């Protein structure tokens, strides 16, 4: 069975590699939780990357998802290396676009979102650094809608109707039942069930970042 390929993309310094490391560590795929600012991140393993504290080359790692595995691709966020990030888009089944809450939607965030939409890559948003000064939950949600389009919702304040509007099948079920079944929710949120070529919607998860 083909392995699902998940790409993590972001504007530089949004915390993309830190999130990648956290996912791998939580899944048990790496034993030590590295940090970019400490120069010991598992994925940023080239000397120049560790010296500069940025990702320069796309890296892949195995990510365990229950009984299944996926390929996780961590990509450069600096605009100087955007071509390296763009090269990964053709192999992605789905993507996670990381946004730093204090900085909001930045120029390269818009560029990445457009590239993902142009290629119809299903994308979830991860709002990072929600614990830092300047992070405004309502403000970032409003900014996402203004900068990237309608359809974003906050799962901490779950609204099944808002989610249903992101998918035709979900909408049909919501209209028939007045709610969404657990099976439908699993299908909506599980990246293992997303197929390449599916229409990318404006839906996004907005959890608290580390």
Q: Which pLDDT score is estimated for 206?
A: 38
User: Reading across the β-sheet that carries 123-128, which strands appear in turn?
Assistant: 59-65, 68-74, 4-10, 94-100, 123-128
Cα–Cα distances (Å) from 115 to 6, 48, 63, in that order, read 15, 27, 24
The Cα–Cα gap between 41 and 50 comes to 8
Q: What ranges make up the beta strands (E) of 32-188?
A: 59-65, 68-74, 94-100, 123-128
Considering the domain 4-193 in this protein, what is its CATH number?
3.40.50.300
List the pLDDT tens digit at each of the 210 positions of the chain.
467 899 999 988 888 888 888 888 888 888 887 666 666 666 765 565 555 566 666 777 888 888 888 898 888 766 766 777 788 898 898 899 999 999 989 988 999 999 998 998 888 888 888 888 888 888 888 898 889 887 676 766 666 777 777 778 888 888 988 888 878 877 666 543 333 333 333 444 433 333
Q: Which pLDDT score is estimated for 9?
A: 92
Q: Which pLDDT score is estimated for 115?
A: 92
The Cα–Cα gap between 155 and 158 comes to 4
Query: What pTM was computed for the model?
Result: 0.74
Q: Which pLDDT score is estimated for 97?
A: 93
Q: Are 128 and 99 in contact (CB under 8 A)?
A: yes
Q: Where are the domains of the chain?
A: 4-193
Tokens describing residue 88: 């990964």
């Amino acid at each position: 069975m083909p392995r699902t390929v998940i790409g993590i993309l972001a504007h530089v310094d949004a915390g993309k590699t830190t999130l990648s490391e956290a996912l791998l560590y939580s899944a048990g795929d790496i034993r030590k939780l590295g940090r970019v600012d400490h120069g010991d991140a598992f994925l940023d393993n080239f000397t120049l990357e560790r010296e500069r504290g940025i990702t320069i080359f796309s890296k892949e790692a195995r990510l365990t998802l229950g009984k299944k595995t996926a390929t996780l691709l961590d990509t450069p966020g600096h605009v100087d290396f955007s071509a390296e990030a763009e090269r990964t888009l053709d192999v992605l089944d789905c993507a996670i676009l990381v946004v730093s809450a204090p900085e909001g939607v930045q120029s390269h965030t818009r560029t990445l979102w457009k590239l993902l939409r142009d290629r119809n890559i299903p994308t979830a948003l991860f709002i990072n650094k929600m614990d830092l000064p300047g992070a405004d939950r309502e403000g970032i949600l409003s900014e996402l809608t203004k900068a990237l389009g309608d359809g974003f919702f906050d799962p901490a304040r779950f609204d099944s109707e808002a989610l249903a509007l992101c998918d035709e099948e979900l909408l049909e079920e919501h209209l028939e039942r007045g709610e969404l079944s657990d099976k439908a929710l699993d299908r909506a949120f599980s990246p293992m069930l997303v197929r390449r070529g599916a229409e990318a919607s404006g839906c996004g998860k907005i959890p608290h970042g580390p």
